[in-house]
Amino acid sequence: MAYDNLVLERSDGAMRITLNRPQVLNALSLALLTELHDALTGPAAEPDVRAVLITGAGRGFSAGADLGDTPVDQDIGALLERVYHPVVRAIAGLRKPVIAGVNGVAAGAGLSLAVACDVRVASSAARFTIGFTGIGLVMDAGSSYFLPRLIGPGRTLDLAFGNRPIDAEEALRIGLVESVVAADEFEAHVWDRVKALAAGPTLSYALVKHEIRSSLDNTLAQQLAVESEAQAAAAASQDVSEGIDAFKSKRAPRFRGL
């Protein structure tokens, strides 16, 4: 399928999904979100894709919802469930790493998209703001779930109440992103990082992703059961046999994601 609002690229088992509305800082139109869901559940879900990068074209990751395309005076709750929530569920459901390459501004639902991903790598030029409360709305598209778990309830409330933008260094300090890369090195660095993940033990990554996401809501007893089940599945994989052989032979493993 050809996309009007996305650019998809593949290399060495990695897929880069670029939000491609740079003229509006990649604001999330309904059409873009529909295409993004299709890409995440279609091409990105194919077995030969072993890691996914979501990033933005131009100066922005995403400035949030395209307000000219989002009827907030209608049933916005139904709209969220129909268009936004499927994207969040698709990211969580992908059995491979999903990295947000935050190249510029990430605001409102654009920030929600970034925090829904498994890991966030930010350019030194990135800027973050919750945004919603600045126009009298509330956090949505998963941000009220993911942000408190990343940076804590107090910091989330502080940023939401003040609607204060933060730069990449502060985002790193408070745990909103996992790493920051100089702007002139960012694009090559983050793509190389995703390709390196694509060469890793994909099933192991998928099971770890399941473990961590499950742990956010599980009791200790429930999580121990998840770990037992996941470890049994990992131990039966071809990659474990390869990993052990490589360790014994003192060579780099050649994982196939199986």
By percentage, how much of the chain surpasses pLDDT 90?
84
Do residue 95 and residue 179 come from a single domain?
yes
Do residue 143 and residue 176 come from a single domain?
yes
Do residue 188 and residue 215 come from a single domain?
no
Q: What is the pLDDT of residue 70?
A: 73
Do residue 130 and residue 173 come from a single domain?
yes
Do residue 114 and residue 86 come from a single domain?
yes
Domain that holds residue 152: 6-198
Mean pLDDT across the stretch 72-89? Answer: 89
Do residue 209 and residue 88 come from a single domain?
no
- 123 located within any domain: yes
- 36 located within any domain: yes
Q: What is the pLDDT of residue 171?
A: 98
Do residue 216 and residue 121 come from a single domain?
no
Residue 194 scores a pLDDT above 90: yes
End position of a domain, from candidates 198, 215, 236: 198
The DSSP symbol for 51 reads E
Q: What is the pLDDT of residue 111?
A: 97
End position of a domain, from candidates 198, 225, 241: 198
- 177 located within any domain: yes
Residue 74 scores a pLDDT above 80: no
- 63 located within any domain: yes
* Residue 223 pLDDT grade (very low, low, confident, very high; cuts 50, 70, 90): very high
Kind of pairing between the strands at 6-11 and 14-19: antiparallel
Mean pLDDT of the chain: 94
Q: What is the CATH number of the domain that holds 112?
A: 3.90.226.10
Q: What is the CATH number of the domain that holds 244?
A: 1.10.12
- 43 located within any domain: yes
Closest CA to 19 of 30, 32, 10, 9: 32
Do residue 129 and residue 233 come from a single domain?
no
Do residue 127 and residue 66 come from a single domain?
yes
By percentage, how much of the chain surpasses pLDDT 70?
98
d(CA 180, CA 199): 22
Q: Token pair 């694509």 is at which residue?
A: 198
- 28 located within any domain: yes
Do residue 17 and residue 77 come from a single domain?
yes
Q: What is the number of domains present in the chain?
A: 2
**Which three-class secondary structure state does DSSP give residue 27?**
coil
Do residue 39 and residue 161 come from a single domain?
yes
d(CA 24, CA 108): 14
Q: What is the pLDDT of residue 246?
A: 86
Mean pLDDT across the stretch 139-143? Answer: 94
- 76 located within any domain: yes
Q: For residue 233, what are the CA distances in angstroms to 217, 220, 256?
A: 22, 20, 16
Q: What is the pLDDT of residue 55?
A: 98
Mean pLDDT across the stretch 6-27? Answer: 97
Q: What is the pLDDT of residue 25?
A: 97
Please answer whether residues 118 and 99 qualify as being in contact, where contact means their C-beta atoms are separated by less than 8 angstroms.
yes
Closest CA to 56 of 8, 112, 101, 2: 101
d(CA 26, CA 105): 9
pTM above 0.85, yes or no: yes
Letter for the amino acid at 85?
H
- 226 located within any domain: yes
Q: Dump pLDDT digits (tens) for 85-133.
A: 999 999 999 999 999 999 999 999 999 999 999 999 999 999 999 999 8
Mean pLDDT across the stretch 162-171? Answer: 96
Do residue 104 and residue 210 come from a single domain?
no
